[in-house]
Chain A
Amino acid sequence: MKKLINAPEDVVTEALHGMAAAHPDLLTVHFDPTYVIRADGVPEGKVALLSGGGSGHEPMHNGFVGRGMLDGACPGEVFTSPTPDQMQAATEALDAGAGVLHIVKNYTGDVMNFEMAAELAEASDVEVQSVVVNDDVAVEDSTYTAGRRGVGGTVLIEKICGAAADKGHSLDEVADLARRCNEEVRSMGMALTSCTVPTAGEPTFDLGEDEMEIGIGIHGEPGRKRMAVESADDIVDRLMTPILEDLPFTEGDDVLLFVNSMGGTPLIEVYLAYRKAAEIAEKHGLRVVRNLVGPYITSLEMAGLSITMLRMDDDLIDLWDAPVHTPALRWGA
């Protein structure tokens, strides 16, 4: 293992100290239990948005804490769900009288820990709603698995719901909006290389020099199939086809197209892929009205891509365009 770290067990904590040092105007990091919250506090009467999950997906979620997106995030160990005590402490710290929305990615550990946190918050009289994001079309058999995973759609939902909360929407309204977006968004990813969890010291899975995994999860979970590497255009086609085949896209729809690097793939390749993804979307009669390109939901140093498409309407476009100021996303503010 060759990594720019000091000690494997200190990676998460030292990175959080770095974030706190780099963005004191945007966020504050609390330790024991560990959580990140916006530096300026949640405005009185605003619904607070809390997400969280294993570390190693930076900038998600800590990098989306600030104004107009998440109010707080709970980072776990690398690829390991955070714990209910962190979530409960963050929930109580964030509640500004309008309740707290938990945005949870559909992984067994995340769902169970957030469930316990919501039970604990109930006991302390904070109103909590939970939304589970599950946009990964790579998981075909959701009856006999833990279900579709939460991936790229999470980033879009956090931005859109953050804007809705800023506009004064109620907890129920923001939760409904998150669920509606989750129904309108689909994602699929692929990996060219594995990644190495610092405390494990070895690659999470083996992938031959000439192989790729189509449908990879953000922790290196296997996808639909392993096959020989193809050209970028063919790979993008392999990701776009299942997204387009799945509900809900039809000709004439407006969409947001999000092409994401898994961490190890450089932007030059991500833009190259975006070019093809946009071409395919337009060939299907979709209008790409907004986009996001870059590393936003990563798997450590894994090389690869994911593509996410969200069907948009005028409301969602307004919410997407609303000002946001976080370490990783910033416009209009």
Chain B
Amino acid sequence: MPVTAADLRAWIRAFANQVAEERAHLTKLDSAIGDGDHGQNLNRGLSHAVDGLDNGNDDLPSTMKSVAMSLISKTGGASGPLYGTFFMDAGKAVGERPELDVAGVAELFRAGLAGVQRRGKAEPGDKTMVDALLPAVEALEEAAENGEALPTALTHAKAAAEDGMKATTPLQARKGRASYLGERSKGHQDPGATSSYYLVAAAADTFGSSA
């Protein structure tokens, strides 16, 4: 079954729940190499985004825009503009389509990732959100090419994001506050890559189950 605006809203709620549940974990990861506010900030932004979802039967682009604006205005720090731009650009890419197939979901994530990179100027391997998002996008695109069903495609994307997240541990951070640690940033999993994995995992758990 294709992804509808209602599925997108379920995805955002699942993402928000996951961040709320893992807030302490994100804080711990961020305290090790950042300033410890990633879980707190993202939770604040997402709670506001979820409140904004309750008012109705928005279509795909307006759902994405409302989430983007909530994250931009309520999150703060670096994660507000980064996740805000993800949803803003992802929303523009899916446009007026009523629903999304595997290729559409891949486009959504590709556009969101491009937005994150435009805003944050991070390259793969810099120990950032990009390191979890890029493998997921590539897995989705490959699945679309191979004609895989949505749940299978998302299962692959989730696994790829998880691998990407774990692979940030040995990396030296080159962007954001963690970069000031230099060598000392090695040996810690990146909090941004971790929340980005939750974003992909939430999509797999919600879009996957609608099939």
Known: A77-B41, A83-B76, A109-B78. 13 other contacts (CB 8 A): A80-B41, A84-B72, A113-B76, A116-B72, A116-B84, A144-B172, A145-B174, A199-B37, A200-B31, A202-B31, A219-B35, A221-B180, A222-B181
B176 touches A146 (CB 8 A): yes
Counting chain B CB atoms within 10 Å of each CB, the highest count among A85, A145, A199 belongs to A145
Cα distance A135–B135 when bound, in Å?
37
Render A125-146 as a binary contact track against B, CB cut-off 8 A, 1 for contact: 0000000000000010100111
B35 touches A199 (CB 8 A): no
**Chain A contacts for B104, CB-based, 8 A:** none
Number of A-B contacts (CB under 8 A): 96
A79-B37 contact in complex given A112-B119, A112-B120, A222-B184, C-beta closer than 8 Å: yes
B81 touches A112 (CB 8 A): yes
A197 interfacial by beta-carbon distance below 8 Å? yes
B174 touches A112 (CB 8 A): no
A154 interfacial by beta-carbon distance below 8 Å? no
B180 touches A222 (CB 8 A): yes
B97 interfacial by beta-carbon distance below 8 Å? no
Counting chain B CB atoms within 10 Å of each CB, the highest count among A82, A146, A200 belongs to A146
Cα distance A76–B175 when bound, in Å?
21
**Chain B contacts for A82, CB-based, 8 A:** 76
B74 interfacial by beta-carbon distance below 8 Å? yes
B179 touches A81 (CB 8 A): no
B119 touches A83 (CB 8 A): no
> A34 CB to closest chain B CB, in angstroms?
11
B81 touches A145 (CB 8 A): no
**Chain B contacts for A139, CB-based, 8 A:** 180
> A319 CB to closest chain B CB, in angstroms?
32
Cα distance A164–B172 when bound, in Å?
42
Cα distance A221–B180 when bound, in Å?
7
Number of interface residues of B (CB under 8 A): 32
**Chain B contacts for A219, CB-based, 8 A:** 35, 177
Counting chain A CB atoms within 10 Å of each CB, the highest count among B74, B77, B174 belongs to B77
Cα distance A84–B179 when bound, in Å?
24
Render A218-243 as a binary contact track against B, CB cut-off 8 A, 1 for contact: 01111100000000000000000000
B81 touches A84 (CB 8 A): yes
Closest to A146 in B: B179
B191 interfacial by beta-carbon distance below 8 Å? no
Number of interface residues of A (CB under 8 A): 34
Binding site for B on A (CB under 8 A): 33, 76-77, 79-85, 107-109, 112-113, 115-116, 139, 141, 144-146, 149, 197, 199-200, 202, 204, 217, 219-223
Counting chain A CB atoms within 10 Å of each CB, the highest count among B119, B176, B180 belongs to B180
Closest to A148 in B: B180
B182 interfacial by beta-carbon distance below 8 Å? yes
B209 interfacial by beta-carbon distance below 8 Å? no
B35 touches A108 (CB 8 A): no
B73 touches A33 (CB 8 A): yes
B164 interfacial by beta-carbon distance below 8 Å? no
B78 touches A108 (CB 8 A): yes
B111 interfacial by beta-carbon distance below 8 Å? no
Closest to A224 in B: B182
Selected A-B contacts with CB under 8 Å, 15 pairs:
A79-B35, A83-B72, A83-B76, A84-B72, A84-B81, A108-B175, A108-B177, A112-B119, A112-B120, A116-B72, A139-B180, A144-B182, A145-B180, A199-B37, A222-B184
> B204 CB to closest chain A CB, in angstroms?
28
B80 interfacial by beta-carbon distance below 8 Å? yes
Closest to A199 in B: B40
B35 touches A85 (CB 8 A): no
